[in-house]
Amino acid sequence: MKEEIFKLIKLQAIDSEIAGFDNTIANHQAVITSREQAIEEKQEAIAVFRSKIELLNQKQRETKSEHDEAGIRVKDRQNKMMQVQTSREHQALLKEIEENKKLFKETEDRILQFLEQIEQLEQEVATLENLCSGEQQLLAEAVVTVEKEIKRIESTKKSIVSQRDKEAAALEPPYLKRYAMLIDKRDRLAVVAVNVNVCQGCYMALPPQQVIEIRKAEKLHTCPTCQRILYYKEPEGTAVEK
Ligand SMILES: [Zn+2]
């Protein structure tokens, strides 16, 4: 029995190593994805700013024609002033001239405000575009590095996987079956140590009698709580006395 337990411990160690490779690969990929998302968010912000700029440009053009028309009306009414006969007509024209002058000035102010807003937004777009292109360049470099790293991990993993298959084949089929089921259902951790009477898989305390049995290793023991396969591990520091 002891030998089967050793094989299980060894198989678990290999599987944990493989899981570690998979985690490392997933972490690398997650970093790349989050950087891609950061760039995408900036590009979306740029698009929003651009549509605001377009809207402001349109308003600015409309205001400009309002402004030009007011200017034309001022000149037109001023010319008419020379031909008027009655003071009533004179008063009416004066009033129109004043109104259009006011509109002329007011539209000019509005145009300036639009232009200022447009300039501000264009600056923000330029800043974001700058950031984006910098980030894109760095990301492209990171992708190359990560792809290389993943390739390296994959090839190391491949040789360990073939070693794993050999170890697994050496196990008694019922043990292998139980082991595989636990790996699948218990977060890739099927064989765990008992340390100071505690299962290192679920951290629940075990009955003292069971711990004595596990230590003897005469049969396969499993945790009553998480069902993982247990083996006894001497508490650290007990072997060497100072
Ligand atoms: Zn447990």
Do 128 and 180 fall into the same domain?
no
Assess if residue 22 is contained within a domain.
yes
Q: In this predicted structure, what is the pLDDT of residue 236?
A: 72
Which string of b and e fits 91-108 if b means at least 16 CB within 10 Å? eebeebbeebeebbeebe
Do 113 and 191 fall into the same domain?
no
Cβ-based burial of 71 (10 A; exposed 0-12, middle 13-18, buried ≥19): middle
End position of a domain, from candidates 147, 169, 191: 169
Do 186 and 124 fall into the same domain?
no
CA distances from residue 100 to 12, 86, 91, 158 in whole angstroms, order as listed: 88, 21, 14, 83
Do 42 and 150 fall into the same domain?
yes
Q: In this predicted structure, what is the pLDDT of residue 242?
A: 39
Do 57 and 73 fall into the same domain?
yes
- Are the beta carbons of 230 and 192 closer than 8 angstroms? yes
Tokens of 76: 């037109």
Tokens of 215: 């230590």
Distance 211 CA to ligand 1 centre (A): 12
Mean pLDDT, to the nearest integer, of 157-173? 95
Show the domain range for 211: 173-232
3-state secondary structure of 204: coil
Do 135 and 219 fall into the same domain?
no
**Residue pLDDT, tens place only, 36-55:** 999 999 999 999 999 999 99
Q: For the chain, give the percent of residues with pLDDT over 70.
A: 98
* Distance (Å, whole) CA 45 – CA 164: 49
Distance 229 CA to ligand 1 centre (A): 8
Mean pLDDT, to the nearest integer, of 23-31? 97
Residues with a beta carbon under 5 angstroms from ion ligand 1: 199, 201-202, 223, 225-226
Lowest pLDDT segment from 110-124, 169-183, 227-241: 227-241
Do 162 and 180 fall into the same domain?
no
Do 88 and 204 fall into the same domain?
no
Distance 189 CA to ligand 1 centre (A): 10
Distance 199 CA to ligand 1 centre (A): 5
- Are the beta carbons of 203 and 186 closer than 8 angstroms? no
**Residue pLDDT, tens place only, 128-154:** 999 999 999 999 999 999 999 999 999
Residue 238: pLDDT band (50, 70, 90) is: low
Do 32 and 139 fall into the same domain?
yes
Distance 25 CA to ligand 1 centre (A): 28
Tokens of 182: 């636990």
**Residue pLDDT, tens place only, 75-120:** 999 999 999 899 999 999 999 999 999 999 999 999 999 999 999 9
